[in-house]
Structure 1
């Protein structure tokens, strides 16, 4: 982290005073139960929740920003007379913890270093962190004290953690799974999942170090016939655009990559070594016969299907052996990388002259017409963007995406494209794919369009699982109800709503189980564990129950689904239930009454990164499990916290824990400096300098108030002068603006008005 300007001696002394003050009052609030909230008949309530954080490390400024914004709302509504509940919990489920432990056991020095230097772990304790239970308990205990010190107005009686280590929460998750299954929202069968080869388990968004949001995509594998020593082989090229086969001019392989001859379902394929491993995980029988470098087949010719012509195999550095099959067919008129690679060969002085001659003879073929472009859109955009070579990856990727979108949405196949001539590209793609598959000229394969890394550090692949349990987010009825809920709730800021619209529509089926990590055993198949995002969709309802569990008045051993059915729906005979569960009837009725009072959640707040997974699932599961009057009322989202102008990252060393930020500037100054930086989806950029400036501002405000109260003026008040009235009018105008901004969740603007504009009147 960059060096900051140190505060002067006066501010250093003030920080000591503030630290003692904050420490005293944060303890006092908890001891006196100041923020404990219980139902009050006739009093309107506001139920506010924040996503429980993973206990795989220290809390950071991102947690502070999102939870702090919600705390402002909680305090605002209390001032308005509402009965406000703002609880807290901890997420122990998933690969987040186990992945870190795997890397620690593997001797990953960076993990050990981050635990000690960034998370503040005593070096003597490191070996104990190889135990997942110790790991989560340690960080829960540390982070609890940090949250209290930060000054959030939490009702700590309702605290809980997830996983099978919490017996009642475990049963709560099992109840949800059984309920969803009965409603037909859980299925089992073939499923292409993002898969960690080490954990032998599906890897969901929150179980990843890299690649959050990346989903498997289906590619068409086109077979190009190749003869070596009178033996027939297939050089198999993967593509997302099978309609471009009519523009093929050559095939690309990476000359330095490892390729194999593999017997795949009785055919001899030439593919990358990485592709062979992936295909083994997609219900293909794969037997590797021979290995060689890509350069071994450069200069040979293969026969292209449908167009029935022989085309040369040429070298290209842009070909990634870990992307689909590691073999790419070239369409230089419509693919920027292909044109660039050909140009690189013809311009190179360090390439085999025979290969150079082959490349120089190749002429692009025009197969798609797009209004506003000539015959070769790829060449036009390469020249327009000034792309120098195939290794200018950023620009070449941008050009590729642009061409694909334009041609897919606006392009029409030309007359030279056989059965798909004159068809829109969007239609032609599926037609030609069907023809290739039916004639045995192609097959399909799933791959990841971007790199995905499990939290254990292993690169993920796509595996077709034959017995995967999954949530049917593809169900049109479920989507319809989710849209209904979305359209009846308030989203802050307004522009975030279209993101929810997109994700509700975009989601297909979602794997809801995994094999490793902490969590709840899947009730229908104990060999699986309920995955990280699936067990965290309606836990807001558990805050009501947790208060009673924490008092020790719920006999967990007796609890079954009937308990949750009564609390949430009022189903069953409470007298019989009381006997069966060994819970006093009055207690059952009290929990039921409390649920009816607090639910639904009025404000759910989070960073914008959770829109694409947790928050969308939150909507799906609430509409599946609860009646309409218990659906969420609003969701507020915010941007990512930057640190010193860059994204926060432990691996990059650009990180400060919430605990250390509080030690540096104090809780109040941290809140002031952090919460006034941005609004909506903007990314706030924090630094220690901003924290120190906020501390100075608080000092000046405190000194101003002391000076005002120290004035010994016995003058009797008189009628307000013109200037008095002007000042008051200005004051109330700002107050109105503050209230309006807070009600619209513009916390940053409201904070700037309170601590700067108002005091500068």
Structure 2
């Protein structure tokens, strides 16, 4: 089962501290791994490749629980594959995070009383690079704290020279293929950041607003519309109604007076309008609403921009120069004065988009921008999943993926920033437009009347190239040939549409139809222990570094992995991290005890014929767990594999095998030597199985146990096929005996260490060899001459007779149990009374009835248990 036994490693040391101190171990261990190059990837290797990219964190970011969660899962996968003999590449790097980074540097400039315009574009960009060098990338150090096994020598940044060349190359190709174009469309505009932003950078929240209903037109031509953004009426160019709405058929095609202006606007019929919503008539502002823009396109309506980039009203009239919110109040007041207000509802709670960076309310705005024509790219991305080239895990997430890629709108890729990849398009003095490739010269100079487009590309454009740009594309490098496509992408379902879909589109386009990864493994979001989203504003946000400082990185990692069911959100609380710390301590203490008692991996495993049933049982269980863990890894079932390892290590190895073997160790002889070798084998394999999730404690224990160089590069365990169903049944029966007697002792109020005289009548073929272990684990001393059986327990074919005389106050115990029995019977009676009341059942909600049924079942269980305890008490 293990190579170490055959390789005869150096004699292990048993010099382990009495307590595990993560803070003393983790940092030095990680640096040793990095120095020895364990995490590096060799493109020349003949090992099969296994590649995962890190979802690149923002250069402005720091480690949060979401990062820690995702990184733990990726690290576990790559550590296991490395141990299985793969050439593993976990590709690290960071995203330049256009808006976020520019905002950080602009805030620093503001402290100096300056703006980016005071510096000019070139000097400002130099200042951002300076900030990046001094303060950016804080998260890299924090990743080391967590134990991320990434190939640091390959670290990339989306603004690196190589990645910038990749961006320019694919822009040029898409432009030449007429898949990139420039057009005036509605975009999300942030009046604070002064740029278009992507859909993912818009956060929606319920805000208190107002819904105002107002009259357009006069007399028979009056029509009522409602809006939460009254200021946009200055840009209305139509009123739309449903073509089948009988109420407005007489108005379709007519002009109605637009209040507060000198304009009249047409009433148009459009299928988009819902006649059942509100008045069934909607105002149409093509330059300030995406749906209105579409209506405007269908009906050839003019689009009037009535605000500037700061959301200041520019429309000529009394409201010119007002902020949009000031204008809203002023316009409503003016309409009210004219008797145009039909109804006002305040507060009117509705969903409003805000900039995720600065929290400013987003303004839909008509703007000239650069776009990607996504139709053919999105079709290819959908077909790759439909054809089975790429698998989405869990499979039920496929529907969400298809809903997105099958309905994609063209993608706005330009941003009005200075920090980012500048759009490689030049405009000439005579209207020329030239897209410049990475190896091409600019067509002219400013002196000749040429100028480069001032916009930069959306950050998602460059991060969409991540799986191949980080490997050297467009150059055909050894790394690209070896490590593309990626084996799996591990990421949150929240960016399935924004990042994953873009990588799929670009990967298939740039790499001749080869998708960027074989599998997309989606996980959920980390939430607090009550299932609530973590947020500073909620007061429940947690800095994972605090928990790592307090409990160790292994404890945090194990907690996160144990909650990771595919595609499902992960609740986490500090109590759970503390419990995982206790597990790490249990591994430490039990392994230390085993080594002090001679556990060894030296020499081959003894033949099964020389092993006890306990030895054969634990090896049989060990192989089953190896197979089980492998199956869970292949299915990305991190919670299940972690739970399986937890219960096997704690319950079966440490609480049962070690305890059952103590009498064997004490007795000495050949049986003890066999069990010491078996225990060494079990620890060796168990520590390897645990290593990908809890790397630090397992590294320390495994190298001490085996004398090996590092568990990071040890061979992953294999299922040898050894199974012993008879031994498993025998030990399960033995466990039943011990568990039942322990429960009886606890019920009788006996202290755990209190010794009791007992007579054991054991099945000669099954339990007789275990009598010493049974007596030791149950604190049962020999019966002696004065033994009197006051309680007898028949369990699993064995009989345990106990002499409890003098160990408990029988009268007091009967009195206590009688009181408990009366309370349980009263609870049963009350529950039966309610469940037998037809009137109550007819009115009570289902959850109330279910609760009472649960109470009844609990009461009946308590009655049976207490009655059994009373029967077992000594008579008299």
TM above 0.5, yes or no, is yes
1:611 equivalent among 496, 500, 507: 496
2: CA distance between counterparts of 1:530 and 1:607? 24
Q: Where does residue 749 of structure 1 map in the other structure?
A: 640
Contact 1:54–1:91 at 8 Å: present in 2 too? Answer: yes
TM-score scaled by structure 2? 0.54
Q: CA deviation at 1:241?
A: 7.3
Residue 187 of structure 1 corresponds to 181
Structure 1 residues 265 and 544: CA distance shift in structure 2, 3 A: farther
Are positions 1:483 and 2:487 aligned together? no
Q: Residue 92 of structure 1: CA displacement? A: 1.5
Counterpart residue number, 1:669: 555
Pick aligned residue for 1:288 from 317, 333, 337? 317
Aligned partner of 2:567 in structure 1 is 681
| Alpha-carbon shift at residue 58 of structure 1 (Å) | 1.5
Is the aligned partner of 1:739 residue 2:735?
Answer: no
Cα separation, 1, equivalents of 2:630 and 2:47 = 21
Structure showing greater Rg: 2
Contact preservation (8 Å) 1:96, 1:207: no
CA contact (8 A) 2:240 2:282 kept: no
CA distance in 1, matches of 2:523, 2:516: 21
Q: Deviations over 1:80-118 (max 9, x none)?
A: 2111100210111321223355567779xxxxxxxxxxx
Displacement of 1:34 in angstroms is 1.2
Residues 274-353 of structure 1 mapped to structure 2, 5 A cutoff = 278=288, 282-284=303-305, 286-289=315-318, 292=330, 294=332, 314-317=342-345
Q: Which of residues 551, 571, 585 in structure 2 aligns to 1:699?
A: 585
Structure 1 match to 2:63: 59
Residue 525 of structure 2 is aligned to residue 640 of structure 1: yes
Structure 1 residues 358-373: aligned runs within 5 Å: none
Instruction: Summarize the Cα distance change of 1:294–1:628 in structure 2 as closer, same or farther, 3 Å threshold.
Output: closer
Map of 1:501 onto structure 2: 402
1:461 maps to which of 363, 384, 387:
363
Within 1, Cα distance between the matches of 2:573 and 2:479?
42
Pick the aligned partner of 2:455 from 522, 528, 545: 528
2:28 aligned with 1:24, yes or no?
Answer: yes
The answer for the alignment partner of 2:679 in structure 1 is none
How far, CA to CA, are the matches of 2:247 and 2:284 in structure 1? 27
Is the partner of 2:50 in helix, strand or coil? strand
Give 1:723 shift.
4.1
* Deviation digits for residues 330-368 of structure 1 (CA, Å, limit 9, x no counterpart): xxxxxxxxxxxxxxxxxxxxxxxxxxxxxxxxxxxxxxx
Q: Does 1:726 align with 2:628?
A: no
Q: Displacement, 1:207?
A: 4.0
CA distance in 1, matches of 2:33, 2:82: 15
**Partners of 1:234 and 1:21 in 2: CA distance:** 75
Structure 2 residue 158 is matched with structure 1 residue 162:
yes
Aligned to 1:465, the other structure's residue is in SS state strand
Mapped partners of 1:725, 1:532: distance in 2: 58
1:624 correspondence with 2:523: no
CA distance in 2, matches of 1:202, 1:716: 70
Which of 105, 123, 144 does residue 140 from structure 2 map onto?
144
User: In 1, Cα distance between the equivalents of 2:550 and 2:331?
Assistant: 56
Query: CA separation in 2, counterparts of 1:628 and 1:272?
Result: 45
Partners of 1:240 and 1:703 in 2: how far apart?
Answer: 75
Q: How far apart in 1 are the matches of 2:403 and 2:642?
A: 32
Match in the other structure for 1:345 = none
Shift of residue 266, structure 1, vs aligned partner = 8.3
- Alpha-carbon offset, residue 60 of structure 1: 0.4
Q: How big is the shift at 1:278?
A: 4.2
CA distance in 1, matches of 2:579, 2:317: 65
Q: Whose relative contact order is higher, 1 or 2, with alpha carbons under 8 Å and at least 6 apart?
A: 1
Structure 2 Cα separation of the partners of residues 510 and 141 of structure 1? 29
What's 2:94 paired with? 90
1:204 is matched with 198
Q: How many residues align?
A: 523
What is the deviation of 1:141?
A: 4.1
**Does the Cα contact within 8 Å between 2:93 and 2:155 map onto a contact in 1?**
yes
Q: 1:167 to 1:263 in 2, by over 3 A?
A: farther
Tell me which residue corresponds to 1:50. Answer: 54
Gaps of 5+ in 2: 1-16, 112-123, 206-212, 228-238, 249-257, 268-280, 294-302, 307-314, 320-326, 426-451, 653-876
Change (3 A) 1:56 1:129: farther
Does the CA-based 8 Å contact 2:418-2:455 persist in structure 1?
Answer: no
User: What is the Cα deviation at residue 459 of structure 1?
Assistant: 1.6
CA drift of 1:178 comes to 1.0
Superposition deviation, residue 133 in structure 1: 4.0
The secondary structure found in structure 2 opposite 1:261 is coil
Distance in structure 2 (CA, Å) of the matches to 1:130 and 1:168 = 19
- Residue 671 and residue 243 in structure 1: after superposition, are their counterparts in 2 closer, same or farther (change >3 A)? farther
Structure 1 spans left out of the alignment, 5+ residues: 1-11, 108-127, 213-220, 249-258, 303-312, 321-392, 398-448, 546-563, 569-591
Residues of 1 paired with 2:380 and 2:180: CA distance?
A: 16
1:287 to 1:537, Cα distance in 2 relative to 1, 3 A = same
How far did 1:542 drift?
A: 2.9
Distance across 1 between alignment mates of 2:137 and 2:629: 36
Q: Taking structure 1 as reference, are residues 319 and 287 closer, same or farther at Cα in structure 2, changes over 3 Å only?
A: farther
Alignment check: 8 A CA contact 2:352 2:361 kept: no
C-alpha RMSD of the superposition: 4.0
For residues 27-67 of structure 1, what are the alpha-carbon distances to aligned partners after superposition, in whole Å with 9 as ceiling and x for unaligned?
A: 11111211111124542111111210012232101011112
User: What do the CA deviations read for 1:420-456 (whole angstroms, capped 9, x no partner)?
Assistant: xxxxxxxxxxxxxxxxxxxxxxxxxxxxx74232523
CA distance in 1, matches of 2:141, 2:75: 17
- Of 448, 451, 458, which residue of structure 1 is paired with 2:353? 451
Shifted more, 290-299 versus 660-669: the winner is 290-299
Aligned equivalents of 2:36, 2:588: Cα separation in 1: 26
C-alpha distance in structure 2 between counterparts of 1:147 and 1:458, whole Å: 32
Higher mean C-alpha deviation, range 709-718 or range 623-632: 709-718
Cα pair 2:629 2:641 within 8 Å, conserved: yes
Task: Give the 3 Å change call, closer, same or farther, for CA 504–24 of structure 1 in structure 2.
Answer: same
* Secondary structure at the counterpart of residue 624 of structure 1: helix
Q: Distance in 2 between matches of 1:713 and 1:102?
A: 62
Alpha-carbon distance in structure 1 between the residues aligned to 2:599 and 2:484: 52
Aligned to 1:593: 478
